Amino acid sequence: MRLRQFFTGVVGVAGVCLLGSLPAKASARLQAWQFDTGQNRLVFTTESGVEPQVSLSTNPHQLVIDLPGILSDDALGNQFIGGAVRAVRVIQANGSTTRMVLDLSPDYNLDPKQVKVWGLTNQQWVVQLPSSTQAPGVDKSFPNSTLTIPDFSKASTSRPLTTVGAEPLPPLIRRNQVSLAAVRATATVLGGVQATAEGFFIPTAGAAPQIQVYRTRDANQARQIVIDLLDAAIAPGLAAETLPQGRYGVHRWNLTQFATDPPAIRVTLTLDGYSPDWQITPLASGGIWLTPIGVAPSQITAPPATVALPVINAVAAPPPITRPAAPPGIATPAPSPAAGPGSTPRQPNLGQVLVMLDPGHGGVDPGAVGIGGLQEKGVVLAVAHYTAAALQAQGVAVQMTRQGDQTVELQPRAAQAEAARSTVFVSIHANAVDMQRQEVNGLETYYYSETGQVLAAALQQQVLSTMAMHDRGIRQARFFVLRHTSMPAALIEIGFVTGATDAPKLRDPQWQAQMGQAIAQGILNYLRSQPR
């Protein structure tokens, strides 16, 4: 995101009172934001949970997002956009509220009913604007509306999915950091961080790691675990994108190389409020285990995704925002089953389904090996984690046949899906041919049963509509995991590790995230199409 520091002073919204009664002091900060011009959406992340207050003003023509209890960071600055959204400004409205102002073009006639606001978590929010070429005129007869916010502190983890439209989920804003420095040869080399079913594993090469562990808090009182590795260096080329993102309540990973004598690495885990404490165990054979204390990793769950929120139509100054009491954890009610003709169709309760994701290969089995040594097992595991995160953000329960680089045979994969009574089973793989045929690229999806064919078609269609790939079609096949699973099952080959076009994409973490989100959307499309 390229920022331009060109606004000064504090700009308010004329005639609109948005803040109501606010806390006297804010401590958490707006951590990151970006405006995606291609998708016409704003995504922002805060250091703690926030209840956004969103309103549309016609004089001046602005969309205003207030974040009570959040401080702005001057380093985030402002951004000139151009087009329908001329600029985004971040200002401190008062001592306890950050205000994000989207200056809109006078020609951009925005209907507040076409603006969608939803939370991926209570710390990461999306404001989706309609296309400027499709935005209808403003209906000035809209009554002022009241913004109802779910109570995250009491929200039920079984909250059903609320449909927010067919758009693909936005990519997560990356928060991890890796700071490298030139150092002499060291006894130990840190290779990264891996999320596993047991917690986290930090692989090291060379001598057994010498560590010191501290527990502290950052400036915003967020809990941190600091692990110092002595006589150690970060492996060259290790990127922040390869570190786990939002797993098991670890909000952020920071890996910093110090050119001391001897060189040292500081690994800092910043924990979310729901994260447990962690036990740090160095291994004589190399590597460090991080395991949660008092709870299984599978039981560490993030706050559920929020319901979609309305936008206040502030043609006239609205009254102060109120929050009517509502039963904790209750989302927007679904239409009654007895709704008459012309009413909104009843959506299936996707909170009652379970998706089993199967990242192919793993452990001693690398799967296909392609250009530059690219291994299938690592690519598909990363994509599966992104798929899981996108589904869970929409309130869908997910299990994975492997969480890390483990060896899992075919029969246990199918057995796990059967034992869990999964609603659908999706196996994720990458393809390969002879290394001399690098012109072979593209997407394939396989099925065995008739119900699997419908799922495979939904996946193939969604991925092709989202990603620029060659369509190699859907095909029937007798793969073990498809024949030995009774629920609708599909196996998707997300590209060729041997392909000149596909291999660089398969290696790219951003592309992996987009593929994971596309697969998740394909699964959602299938689930919504099925009678329940």
Q: Using CA atoms in the order 457, 461, 463, 466, what is the torsion angle rounded to 10 degrees?
A: -170
Out of 108-112, 313-317, 476-480, the most confident range is: 476-480
What is the pLDDT, as a whole number, of residue 76? Answer: 63
pLDDT at 303: 57
Question: Is residue 173 very low, low, confident or very high in pLDDT (cuts 50, 70, 90)?
Answer: low
Does the structure show a pLDDT above 80 at 84?
yes
Cα–Cα dist 55/249, whole Å: 32
pLDDT of residue 349: 52
163 against 287, higher pLDDT? 287
Mean pLDDT score of the chain, rounded to an integer? 77
User: How does DSSP classify residue 137?
Assistant: P
Query: Could you confirm whether 493 is annotated as catalytic?
Result: yes
Q: Is 517 helix (H, G, I), strand (E, B) or coil?
A: helix
Does residue 488 surpass a pLDDT of 80?
Answer: yes
Report DSSP state, residue 309: B
Of 47, 51, 376, 493, the active-site residue reads: 493
Sort strands 177-179 and 250-258 into parallel, antiparallel or unpaired: parallel
Classified as helix, coil or strand, 153 is helix
C-alpha distances in angstroms, 338 versus 98, 334, 341, 342, 520? 44, 11, 10, 12, 31
Which residues lie closer than 8 Å to 324 by C-beta, 6 or more apart? 146, 148
- What average pLDDT does the segment 453-473 reach? 94
Answer for the pair 200, 388: CB distance below 8 angstroms, yes or no.
no
Percentage of residues in the chain with pLDDT exceeding 70? 75
Among residues 395, 368, 456, 385, which one has the least CA distance to residue 164?
Answer: 395
- pLDDT of residue 426 exceeding 90, the answer is yes
What is the per-residue pLDDT for 510?
Answer: 85
pLDDT digit string, tens, across residues 369-394: 999 889 999 999 999 999 988 888 78
- Grouping H, G, I as helix, E, B as strand and the rest as coil, residue 488 is coil
Half-sphere exposure in the Cβ direction for 358 (13 Å, CA)? 28
How many residues belong to the chain? Answer: 532
| Percentage of the chain modeled with pLDDT above 90 | 35
194-196 sheet: strands from edge to edge: 194-196, 199-202, 288-292, 278-282
Least confident of 175-179, 238-242, 309-313, 353-357: 309-313
Taking residues 414-438, report their average pLDDT: 92
> What local confidence, expressed as pLDDT, does residue 425 receive?
97
pLDDT given for residue 37 in this prediction = 77
pLDDT of residue 15: 30
Beta bridge partners of 242: none
Instruction: Among 23-32, 92-101, 229-238, 286-295, name the one with the lowest average pLDDT.
Output: 23-32
CA distance 199 to 300: 10
- In 395-488, DSSP assigns E strands to 397-400, 424-431, 443-447, 471-476
228 DSSP β-pair partners: 212, 266
State the DSSP H helix or E strand holding residue 229, giving kind and residue range, or none if neither.
Answer: strand 223-230
Q: Is the pLDDT higher at 206 or at 137?
A: 206
More confident residue, 17 or 462: 462
Label residue 153 by pLDDT band (50, 70, 90): very low
Residue 326 dihedral angles phi and psi, to the nearest 5°: -140, 150
Would you state the pLDDT for residue 327? Answer: 33
Which one has a higher pLDDT value, 246 or 479? 479
pLDDT in tens, 22-47: 334 556 788 778 887 777 888 888 87
Euclidean distance between CA atoms 346 and 348, whole angstroms? 7
Residue 236 identity: P
Instruction: Enumerate the β-bridge partners of residue 231.
Output: none
Classify each residue of 84-96 as buried b or exposed e, where b means 16 or more C-beta atoms within 10 Å of its C-beta. bbbbbbbbbbeeb
What pLDDT is stored for residue 486 in this prediction?
A: 95
pLDDT digits (tens, 9 = 90+) for 122-150: 777 888 888 764 333 333 322 332 223 23
- Token pair 């998740």: residue: 520
Nearest residue to 51 (alpha-carbon basis) of 132, 161, 174, 149: 149
Q: What pLDDT digit, counting tens, does each position of 282-338 carry?
A: 888 889 999 988 888 888 876 554 445 556 555 433 333 333 333 333 233 333 333
What are the chain's domains?
A: 28-159+306-314 (2.60.40.3500), 177-299 (2.60.40), 350-529 (3.40.630.40)
In this prediction, residues 68-77 reach a mean pLDDT of 75
Q: Is it the case that residue 161 has pLDDT exceeding 50?
A: no
Average pLDDT over residues 486-514: 93
